[in-house]
Amino acid sequence: MKTPDPRPTAVNTPLTDTPRRRAILKQLRSHPTVKGSVIALVLLLATVLLAPFLAPQDPYNLAVLDLMDGRLSPGSASMNGFRFWLGTDSQGRDMLSAILYGLRISLTVGLSAVALATVIGSLVGLMAAYAGGLIDTLLMRLVDFILGFPTILVALVLLAMLGRGVDKVVIAIVVVQWAHYARIMRSRALQERRKEYIEAALNLGFPAWRIMLRHLLPNCLGPVMVFATIQIANAIVLEATLSFLGVGVPITEPSLGLLIANGFQYLLSGDYWISMFPGLALLLLILSINVIADRLRSALDPRST
């Protein structure tokens, strides 16, 4: 019979599984609204990924659309017995299918814009903090300059000059968002720069890019990522707003914002479903992201217990 080893055994925990991280996750799990939001978000993501299989109709296949089915109220059926649970738009398009495809475009634009803005902004902030001096001053002046204006105005004027298009909307969102990341990254990197491990890396003669990307960046990423989760919701709203105003995505790729805009003209005659259901989908998406981001922020905030 083996006696238990009296020596303390090293528990094989992964490096990422720190007590702090466990506490954060525990705090996140204990909140019912967060749980609901996560479920809602996962469901939305699933429908977005599976849209072609879940959608009752291909909303962009003109062959299946019938103008006779135009502006049917929710729950009504077409001539051939096809039921439109959320009604149809003026072209007889099933709103449920249109929403599922619209969510795809909204999410794609939002996620890619935030990803690009995070990368660009982080690199600029890192560079400013590492280089210091004149470069720092110039870059931060630029950041102040852009952040001095409301996002909607900058994006609107930019798109007025660039024209419509998915890529152009992404560019506009990146232009208005990158500066936030640059500012957060810079202030974080300035704190980290003074620490010994950077000094050690400098003394080892590593090139500047290596110190920035391999040493400084991973240690500054936390606050930037938390901010990015909030910005996903902002990017989606911005895209929807721009599309609603008619300067966003083209008609061939209707996001939720454009669907809402299309329904606006029928609102006054009482055909609420064309604009209200896409809006509810948008609201659910944004709300769940916001709740998760809000909780994440307060869980990561060392002052809150």
Partner 1 sequence: MQSLFVLLAVSVVVFFAVYAVGDPIELLVSPEASVADRQVMIQRLGLDLPVWLQYTGFLGRALHGDLGTSFVHGIPAIELIVQRIPATLELVFVAISLTILIGIPLGLIAGLKSDKPTGRGLMAGSVLGFSLPSFWQGMVLILMFAVWLHWLPAAGRGDTVTVLGVPLSLLTASGWSHVILPAINLSLANIALVLRLTATGVVDAKTQEYVKFARAKGLRPQRILTRHILRNILIPVVTVIGMEFGSLIAYSTITETVFAWPGMGKLLIDSIYQLDRPVVVAYVMLVTFIFVMINMLVDMLYAALDPRVQLQESE
Shortest Å distance, C-beta 109 to partner 1: 14
Positive or negative, the CA dihedral 236, 287, 125, 118 is: negative
Closer residue to partner 1 (CB): 65 or 257: 257
Nearer to partner 1, 99 or 216 (CB): 99
Q: Which is nearer to partner 1, 126 or 281 (CB)?
A: 281
Taking the least distance from each CB to partner 1, the nearer of 168 and 215 is: 168
DSSP labels, 220-267: HHHHHHHHHHHHHHHHHHHHHHHHHTTSSS-TTS--HHHHHHHHHHHH
Q: State which residue, 88 or 243, has the beta carbon closest to partner 1.
A: 243
What is the closest distance, in whole angstroms, from the C-beta atom of residue 105 to partner 1 in the complex? 15
Rounded to an integer, what distance in angstroms lies between the CA atom of residue 196 and that of residue 22?
A: 27
Q: How far is the CB of 44 from partner 1 (least distance, A)?
A: 14
Contacts 24+ apart (CB under 8 A), 56-60: 56/82, 56/85, 56/94, 56/96, 56/97, 57/82, 57/93, 57/94, 57/97, 58/97, 59/93, 59/94, 59/97, 59/98, 59/101, 60/101
Q: Is the dihedral of CA 214, 215, 218, 223 positive or negative?
A: negative
Identify the CA nearest to 274 among candidates 98, 64, 79.
98
**Least distance (Å) from partner 1 to the CB of residue 252?**
19
CB of residue 203 to partner 1, shortest distance in Å? 37
Copy the structure tokens of residue 80. Answer: 């051939």
Nearer to partner 1, 56 or 165 (CB): 165
Minimum gap (Å) between residue 157 Cβ and partner 1 = 6
Residue 109, token pair as written in the block: 């634009």
Q: Which CB, 145 or 197, lies closer to partner 1?
A: 145
CB of 4 to partner 1, least distance (A): 47
3-class SS shares of the chain: helix, strand, coil, % to 5: 70, 0, 30
- Calculate the alpha carbon distances from 45 to 30, 51, 231, 287, 289 in Å: 23, 10, 17, 14, 12
**Residues in the site for partner 1, rule: CB under 8 A?**
33, 145, 148-150, 152-153, 156-157, 160-161, 233, 237, 240-241, 244-247, 257, 260, 264, 267-268, 270, 272, 275-276, 279, 282-283, 286-287, 290-291, 294
What is the nearest approach in angstroms of partner 1 to the Cβ of residue 274?
11
Residue number with CB closer to partner 1 (127 or 236): 236
Q: Measured between alpha carbons, how far is residue 163 from residues 158, 239, 247, 259 in Å?
A: 8, 14, 7, 19
